[in-house]
Amino acid sequence: MTIPIIDLRGVRKTYNPGTPVAAEVLHGIDLAVSEGEFACLIGPSGSGKSTLLNLIGLLEWPSAGDYLLKGRPIAQADDDERTRARLETLGFVFQFHHLLPAFTALENVLLPGLMRYGAYTTEQRAGAVELLSAVGLGEAMHKLPGELSGGMQQRVAIARALALSPDLVLADEPTGNLDTHTADDVFALLRRFNETRRTAFLIVTHDPRLAARCDRVVELRDGTLVDDSVRGG
């Protein structure tokens, strides 16, 4: 049996625990994502989607429950192992790109390697060039983010997320600030990497059109998983 990339069991998240303003925002989440899956996370604003994504992405920590990353309890990992997991096992695509404005598109894609290894090799640079070409930015790799459109910046962010060949890419509203045509292009790009590289994706979206094109739809409401449906691709 294949070990899931992520496996959350009874995960809860409480802010300000032990105080009069304590608030539990995730209530016993059970969720696993395996290699090659293309899933989306939907739900109304305030349902806990971003909190859940941050927990999966090791940016926040559960208050209770277990989180296994590739079969290993991540709570037992030290800081170096967690950082390595973020850089190698998990990739991130955010709604507003978070590109470094003083770095070119190519330099932004090379950043994960620089953070992980302190330098990048000729092979890593070639891989970054290949990724930028794959997202249609081969001729724009030396441009700064401010010289690129929103859709182009998002494609740089996707290339950066894939730079270290992560097992799972977490995408928080990756098309939320794009027009319909550009959103469709970005979504198709994610789907292409899913199909050709077997990279798993978990995408937060408010767009029902995009959700309908995912293989699996996980619905979160008031901090509780209320549906987890597998659909045809």
Residue 144 within a domain:
yes
Residue 22 within a domain:
no
pLDDT at site 217: 95
pLDDT at site 94: 80
Residue 119 within a domain:
yes
The domain that holds 115 is classified in CATH as 3.40.50.300
pLDDT at site 233: 44
pLDDT at site 226: 92
- As for how many domains the chain has, the answer is 1
Residue 87 within a domain:
yes
pLDDT at site 145: 93
DSSP string, the chain: -PPPSEEEEEEEEEESTTSTT-EEEEEEEEEEE-TT-EEEEE--TTSSHHHHHHHHTTSS--SEEEEEETTEEGGGS-HHHHHHHHHHTEEEEETT----TTS-HHHHHHHHHHHHHSS--HHHHHHHHHHHHHTT-TTSTTS-GGGS-HHHHHHHHHHHHTTT--SEEEEESTTTTS-HHHHHHHHHHHHHHHHHH--EEEEE---HHHHTTSSEEEEEETTEEEEEEE---
Residue 64 within a domain:
no
Low-confidence ranges of the chain (pLDDT < 50): 233
pTM for this one? 0.88
pLDDT at site 155: 87
pLDDT at site 1: 59
The domain in which residue 139 lies consists of 37-58+78-230
Residue 197 within a domain:
yes
